[in-house]
């Protein structure tokens, strides 16, 4: 698989809590240069990034991140604010407390609130696979498939684990065809990236692939 094809599926990501505006601008420059699908950045940086990139790059941000236990109303407000600031895509975290309590209708309503607030934009639902049983993953695949969301996403990258090949394959097999899969967390090599894509991931949440592309350029120029 060509490197530029992998890069075109990457949400080039910087969600570190102390990320500066200058670092976000550098991330945007890299996202544009390497043809990434988007940059995924904290909500507080969305307006500045939108002004900086104009229409040259998609801006993705996170909702209820990283814990997911904000109320549905708060998540909906956060989503609307992000869109007003210029976000093209939002990645929300499900309410894992509701998942563990088996309150499936409440989980669905939580996602629905964000879907309603994000109409016309891409919605990705982060289920944090590392904290779930297989049955919980399967139930969430059904709920996300029925929600109108565009993607199901493995991980925040802030919990006990990231994407695994087994989880990506499971999500692809259990979600309806219209729901795409985003693998995120721990994608550290081109081999990882290609494996996730071949297993059915349409997007990758990572900063490492752009760094690898930059390293390849420096090596070629040496």
Q: What is the pLDDT of residue 222?
A: 74
Q: Which 3 state secondary structure label does DSSP give 151?
A: strand
Examine the residue annotation and report whether 101 is marked as an active-site residue of this protein. Answer: no
Model pLDDT, residue 159: 97
For residues 94 and 125, give the distance between their C-alpha atoms in angstroms, rounded to a whole number: 7
Could you tell me if 106 and 140 are in contact, meaning their C-beta atoms sit under 8 angstroms apart?
Answer: no
Spot the catalytic one: 11, 137, 182, 192. 182
**All domains in the chain, ordered by first residue:** 3-221 (3.20.20.70)
- Could you list the mean pLDDT of each consecutive 10-residue stretch along the chain, which spans 222 residues? 96 98 98 98 98 98 98 98 98 98 98 98 98 98 98 98 98 98 95 97 97 92 79
Torsion of CA 158, 8, 173, 40, to 10 degrees: 30
Structure tokens at 97: 């407390």
The conformational region for residue 46 under phi > 0 = left, psi -120 to 50 = alpha, else beta, is alpha
| 79: its two tokens | 């989503």
Residue 202 CA to chain centroid, in angstroms?
11
The residue whose two tokens read 């997007």 is 203
Would residue 153 show up in a list of annotated catalytic residues for this protein?
yes
55: which 2 tokens? 């229409």
Write out pLDDT tens, residues 124-161: 999 999 999 999 999 999 999 999 999 999 999 999 99
Q: Is 110 a catalytic residue?
A: no
Distance of CA 54 to the CA centre of its chain: 21
Q: Pick the closest to residue 103 from 128, 139, 156, 132 (CA basis).
A: 139
Provide Rg for the chain, Cα atoms.
17
How many residues comprise the chain? 222
With beta carbons less than 8 A apart as the criterion, state whether 56 and 32 touch: yes
Annotated catalytic residue, options 75, 124, 153, 180: 153
What pLDDT sits at residue 41? Answer: 98
User: Which of 11, 88, 91, 192 is labelled catalytic?
Assistant: 91
- Whether pTM exceeds 0.95: yes
């Amino acid at each position: 698989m060509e490197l530029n094809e992998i890069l075109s599926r990457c949400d080039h990501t910087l969600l570190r809590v102390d990320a500066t505006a200058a670092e976000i601008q550098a991330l945007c420059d890299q996202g544009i240069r390497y043809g990434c699908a988007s940059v995924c950045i904290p909500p507080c940086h969305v307006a500045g990034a939108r002004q900086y990139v104009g229409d040259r790059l998609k801006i993705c941000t996170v909702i209820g991140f990283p814990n997911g236990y904000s109320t549905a109303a708060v998540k909906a407000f956060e989503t609307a604010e992000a869109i007003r600031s210029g976000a093209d895509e939002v990645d929300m975290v499900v309410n894992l407390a509701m998942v563990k309590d088996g309150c499936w209708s409440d989980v669905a309503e939580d996602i629905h609130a964000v879907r309603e607030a994000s109409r016309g934009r891409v919605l990705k639902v982060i289920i944090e696979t590392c904290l779930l049983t297989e049955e919980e993953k399967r139930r969430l695949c059904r709920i996300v498939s029925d929600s109108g969301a565009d993607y199901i996403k493995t991980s925040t990258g802030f919990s006990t684990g990231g994407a695994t090949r087994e989880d990506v394959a499971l999500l692809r097999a259990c979600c309806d065809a219209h729901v795409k899969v985003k693998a995120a967390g721990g994608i550290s090599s081109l081999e990882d990236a290609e494996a996730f894509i071949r297993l059915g991931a349409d997007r990758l949440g990572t900063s490492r692939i752009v760094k690898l592309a930059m390293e390849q350029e420096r090596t070629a120029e040496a």
